Amino acid sequence: MASDIIETSGLTRSYGEICALKPLDLTVPAGQWLSVMGHSGSGKSTLLNLLGGLDRPSGGSLRLGGEDLMTLSEDGLARFRREFVGIIFQQHHLVPYLTALENVMMAQYFHSVPDEAEACSALEKVGLGHRLKNRPGELSGGEQQRVCIARAIINSPKLLLGDEPTGNLDHQNTGMVMELLNELRAEQQFTIILVTHNRDVAAWGERIISLDDGVLVREERTGR
């Protein structure tokens, strides 16, 4: 039985009087693919930001990989993000004037030291071995998202967070990206938390939770 990589208890996040996430108890076993669904403003991205150490909870407890994020300093949180988490955004957030290879190497640089051969290998793994020297503007949406995936996995994270990673992609590219994530998870054994509106995309996960107005309203197993 895999140990839990995420443990939250009474986790909340408020912005002034608005409570974006109401007390949430959630455990995620290591290696699981969890999809988070919900309409806009339901608290999905808030939860993702908390799990990625991008934001601090207003209350409750949050343990990731055995580490209590509530007690970490800013430096500690930065180190934790650097070494533990990989994030894929809907908007890619690639540096436009760097090549695909340089974008991946930049993640290596902020983690430790750049290694060009390893970055090439990661891009080859996502099927972009022939696009190393292209800038993001010269890549299609699907290709850009694959660069993001290469960038997110280059530092061997234990937790991969995806915030609507296929939101801007067509059906074909969505399938390709999901297939790729599935292969990489099988190979590298990381945990995936994927936020999406799309039920087909959510169905790639082993477990789906639904949020509504900051409250966990439904949980289901997909049987994958």
Partner 1 sequence: MMAAQKLIALLLAWSGIAAALARYFPGRRKVLLLSCVCGFAGGMFLLALCKVDSPASIIRFSAGAAFLSVWMTALTALYRVTGRGGKSLPSEDIHPTPVFMASGAAVMSGLLAGAISVYLMVPKGGAALPYILTLGLASALFAGSAIALERFIPKIITLTTTATLTLVVSLLLFATSLTLQLDLFAPLSMKVMKFIHDFVHQFFESMLVPDHLFFRHDVWVYIGYLFSRGVGFWGGLLLWFAPVILVGVAIRLEPLPPVSHIRQGAERRKQLANFIRVRRNRLIVPGFTMLILAAAVYNSSYPNVEYWDPPPVVVTMNPSGMIVIPKKGEIDLEDGKLHKYLFRQKGREARFMILMTPNGKLTVTLDACAICKPDGYGQTEGAVICYYCKTLIPLETVGRPGGCNPVPLPFEVKEEGISIDALTILNRWGETVTSTSRIEGGGK
Residue with smaller CB distance to partner 1, 14 or 121? 121
Applying CB under 8 A, among 9, 91, 140, 156 the residue interacting with partner 1 is 156
DSSP assignment letter at 204: T
Task: Count interface residues toward partner 1 (CB under 8 A).
Answer: 12
Applying CB under 8 A, among 100, 152, 154, 159 the residue interacting with partner 1 is 154
**Considering only CA atoms, which of 180, 160, 176 is closest in space to residue 89?**
160
Does residue number 206 form part of the binding site for partner 1 (CB under 8 A)? no
Residues 6+ apart with CB under 8 A from 191: 5, 6, 28, 29, 30, 31, 32, 33, 34, 158, 159, 160
Applying CB under 8 A, among 115, 206, 212, 213 the residue interacting with partner 1 is 115
H helices present in the chain, as ranges: 44-51, 74-84, 100-111, 116-125, 141-153, 171-188, 199-202
Judged by CB under 8 A, the stretch of 90-98, 111-119, 128-136, 159-167 that binds partner 1 is 111-119
Judged by CB under 8 A, the stretch of 9-17, 40-48, 108-116, 206-214 that binds partner 1 is 108-116
CA dist 58 and 7 (Å) reads 16
Judged by CB under 8 A, the stretch of 110-118, 135-143, 176-184, 196-204 that binds partner 1 is 110-118
Q: How far is CA 41 from CA 21, 56, 212, 218, in A?
A: 10, 18, 8, 16
52-91 residues in contact with partner 1 (CB under 8 A) are 83
> What's the CA dihedral at 54, 26, 186, 147 to 10 degrees?
-20
Does residue number 116 form part of the binding site for partner 1 (CB under 8 A)? no
Q: CB of residue 21 vs partner 1: minimum separation in angstroms?
A: 30
Residue with smaller CB distance to partner 1, 83 or 206? 83
Applying CB under 8 A, among 22, 111, 197, 207 the residue interacting with partner 1 is 111
CA dist 156 and 86 (Å) reads 8
Does residue number 186 form part of the binding site for partner 1 (CB under 8 A)? no
Binding residues for partner 1 (CB under 8 A): 83, 108, 111-115, 118, 121, 154-156
